[in-house]
Amino acid sequence: MLKPISIAILFGSLLAVPPLPANASGGSKQPKAASKSAVPPTRSPAEQAVDHYNFGLKSRNKAVRFEEKARQADKASRRAGYLKKAQVQYGKAIREFQLAVRLNPKFHQAFSSLGYAQRKSGDPGAAVIAYDRALALSPNYTEAIEYRAEAFLGLDRLGEARKAYIRLFSTDRGRADELLRAMRKWIETRRGSPENLSKEEIDSFSGWVKDREEIASQTASLDGMKKRKW
Amino acid sequence: MTAAKVSLGRFLFYDRKLSGNGTYSCATCHRQELAFTDGRAQSIGSTGEIHPRGAMSLANAAYNITLTWSDPALIRLEDQVEIPLFHREPVEMGMSGRVDTLLDRLKSDRRYRRWFAAAFPGQSDPIRLGNLYRAIASFERILISGGSPYDRLVYGGEMEALADSARNGMGLFFSNRLRCSRCHGGITFSGPTAFAGNRPPRQAFHNTGLYNLGPRGNYPEDDQGLYRFTGRQGDMGRFRAPTLRNIGLTSPYMHDGSIATLEEVIDHYSAGGRTIPTGRYAGDGRASPNKSELVSGFYISRQEKADLVAFLKSLTDTGFISEERFSDPFETPVPSVPP
């Protein structure tokens, strides 16, 4: 999960940020924060972008906690209640991340987080666009590669999800493993509700996932080499 | 690393001027078609002296945390270049005591005057030993092998790149039963690797129970591995795990080429060491007190052995052995020259 980002980390990439257009956040000179945590008006656009990003992360983390509670809830009504609360938080997070990227169009982490919240809100198409922006700014940002692939799964764009996995496999095994888990989950879901996909398509993808799981488990030691004591 | 250094290094690597009697280049013992090994059990120097070991492959040498079979201090390719050039026991290139001759040869060649100046701009006298080392090391660093069927499967996502037998062999290779990858791991299949952003891991040397001479588990006197450098008995017979990439091309095997085929190598590890019944090296390697605990033996069926060999052969990168950038520039119709 993402951690709040430090202004210092982003400092280098924020120097050339153009000033925010007057109507960028509803006509006021300063962007209007969607959350109760108002951004101090004296801060630079770059600093405000980071503030909005961090507010967005807070909402997103709240949403994730509600989702966890929903998973653990024993009654369907309680589960539904938690999921609804989670969606409210994702909505808030989207607004904050949108403000962050308007204030700093080079903020690739914010684009990626925007994609995450949009995907969790059930809009994988919008999420892919946000991830595309993140990856245009930072092509090797593995978080965006992985989550965009999850959005591809949501859109049944399996070939692109596979490509993303192969790319992650050699650059970030942890992310690759996470994507493989998402693929497994997608298969379970689609077996119950295939929508426009044929059984053969799902079986073919399932076979591919099984093969990659085997390769991943066989070659797990390649990654462990870094830590092993000889 | 610059293109000019790499290109100069390629010419130097293939140039026989670098040997005392003008008969040897680096490429004599590091032949591209054999994945930059020489196909001999024990290499032969320019004056005919037989070496105790075979030439190691240069594939992916840039990532090795140590170079050569057992020297723990040799960690930079620039430093390694010096050894074959000037080593006397045994003689390799035979340039010991002839530094001036070597440099004069290069200085008298108009092309080298131009190429050294291009590779080391701003230097008044660029043809010097340090620059020669840097250029050859630069060339060696581009000798990257990563296009084998195994790579196409694992990193390229070509799910049909390996035949079924090789896929089974891959499972065995990485399994806890055989544990081959415990020593031949990492992207190089040679154990721990060094690369940018990675804190160098500990060096690794292994005694595989190849010999067990006398009560202390010695190796033959002419080559006792890490022990030669540390003097510790526990380091007797410990050598670096060589890369398994292109292993199908680099027979014979083990540091002294004393095992001819991959099948026999597997038999050796399956037995947990080698037993030599008679002769000057007679001994039960399985019982060596210095043997690595990782070499403890395992059961493997005939079919599994064939599968494992198929997998090892799937590590052959045909692009690597035919890549023009790595080839002899003196034999190229229009030699590419440094800018």
Is the pLDDT score of A3 beyond 70? no
Sign of the dihedral defined by the CA atoms of residues B9, B13, B14, B17, in that order: positive
pLDDT at B194: 78
Cβ-based neighbours of B129, under 8 Å, separated by 6 or more: B99, B102, B103
**What whole-number distance in Å separates Cα of residue B218 and Cα of residue B233?**
8
B327 burial (CB, 10 Å; 0-12 / 13-18 / 19+) is middle
Q: What is the pTM of this model?
A: 0.80
Q: Which CATH architecture has domain A21-34+42-139?
A: Alpha Horseshoe (1.25)
Please tell me what DSSP assigns to residue B283: E
pLDDT at A177: 95
**What whole-number distance in Å separates Cα of residue B141 and Cα of residue B143?**
5
Can you name the residues that pair with B259 across neighbouring β-strands?
A: B253
- Determine whether the interchain pair A170/B171 forms a contact, defined as Cβ–Cβ distance below 8 Å: no
Nearest CA in chain B to A173: B155
DSSP A146-200: HHHHHHHHHTT-HHHHHHHHHHHHHH-HHHHHHHHHHHHHHHHHHHH--TT--HH
**Range A2-20 average pLDDT:** 38
Tell whether omega for the bond before A194 is within 30 degrees of 0, i.e. cis. no
pLDDT at A101: 97
Q: Confidence band (pLDDT; 50, 70, 90) for A15?
A: very low
**Range A96-117 average pLDDT:** 96
- For chain B, helix (H) and strand (E) counts, in that order, are 12, 2
Q: Shortest Cα distance from B181 to chain A (angstroms)? A: 7
Q: For A5-145, where are the E strands, in sequence order?
A: none
pLDDT at B191: 81
Locate tokens 């059961």: which residue?
Answer: B299
Q: Does A218 contact B at CB distance below 8 Å? A: yes
For chain B, which ranges sit under pLDDT 50? 334-335, 339
pLDDT at B251: 93
Q: Does A204 contact B at CB distance below 8 Å? A: no
Q: Does B161 contact A at CB distance below 8 Å? A: no
Q: Does B155 contact A at CB distance below 8 Å? A: yes
**Range A1-12 average pLDDT:** 41
* Between A7 and B127, the higher pLDDT residue: B127
Q: For chain B, where are the E strands, in sequence order?
A: 275-276, 283-284
DSSP B44-62: B-TTSPBPSSPPPP-TTGG
Q: Which of A169, A214, A226 sits opposite B201 (nearest CB)?
A: A226
pLDDT tens digits along A151-204: 999 999 999 999 999 999 988 999 999 999 999 999 999 999 888 899 999 999
Name all domains of chain B by residue range, CATH numbers in brackets: 3-144+319-326 (1.10.760.10)
pLDDT at A30: 43
Structure tokens at A172: 């970030």
Residue range(s) occupied by CATH 1.25.40.10 in chain A: 21-34+42-139
DSSP chain A: ---PPPHHHHHHHHTTPPPPPTTTTTTSSSPPPSSSSPPPTTS-HHHHHHHHHHHHHHHHHHHHHHHHHHHH-SSHHHHHHHHHHHHHHHHHHHHHHHHHHHH-TT-HHHHHHHHHHHHHTT-HHHHHHHHHHHHHH-TT-HHHHHHHHHHHHHTT-HHHHHHHHHHHHHH-HHHHHHHHHHHHHHHHHHHH--TT--HHHHHHHHHHHHHHHHHHHHTHHHHHTTT---
Backbone angles phi, psi at B317, to 5 degrees: -105, 95
Which of A33-47, A112-126, B7-21, B83-97 has the weakest average pLDDT? A33-47
pLDDT tens digits along A59-87: 999 999 999 999 999 999 999 999 999 99
**What whole-number distance in Å separates Cα of residue B144 and Cα of residue B317?**
10
Is the pLDDT score of A1 beyond 50? no
Please tell me what DSSP assigns to residue A93: H
* Candidates B60, B158, B181, partner chain A, best to mutate (most A CBs within 10 A): B181
pLDDT at A223: 56
Tally C-beta pairs within 8 A across A and B: 51
Q: Is B119 helix (H, G, I), strand (E, B) or coil?
A: helix
pLDDT tens digits along B82-92: 999 998 888 99
Is the pLDDT score of A19 beyond 50? no
- Could you tell me if B210 and B276 are in contact, meaning their C-beta atoms sit under 8 angstroms apart? no
DSSP A159-171: HHHHHHHHHHHHH
pLDDT at B39: 92
Q: What is the mean pLDDT of chain A?
A: 83
Q: Confidence band (pLDDT; 50, 70, 90) for A7?
A: very low
Is the pLDDT score of A42 beyond 90? no
Q: Does A140 contact B at CB distance below 8 Å? A: no
Q: Confidence band (pLDDT; 50, 70, 90) for A21?
A: very low
**What whole-number distance in Å separates Cα of residue B327 and Cα of residue A93?**
57
Cβ-based neighbours of B316, under 8 Å, separated by 6 or more: B35, B148, B149, B246, B247, B248, B249
Q: Is B259 helix (H, G, I), strand (E, B) or coil?
A: strand
Is the pLDDT score of A11 beyond 60? no
First to last CA, chain A: 32
Structure tokens at B109: 């060649």
Is the pLDDT score of A217 beyond 90? no
**What whole-number distance in Å separates Cα of residue B132 and Cα of residue B152?**
35
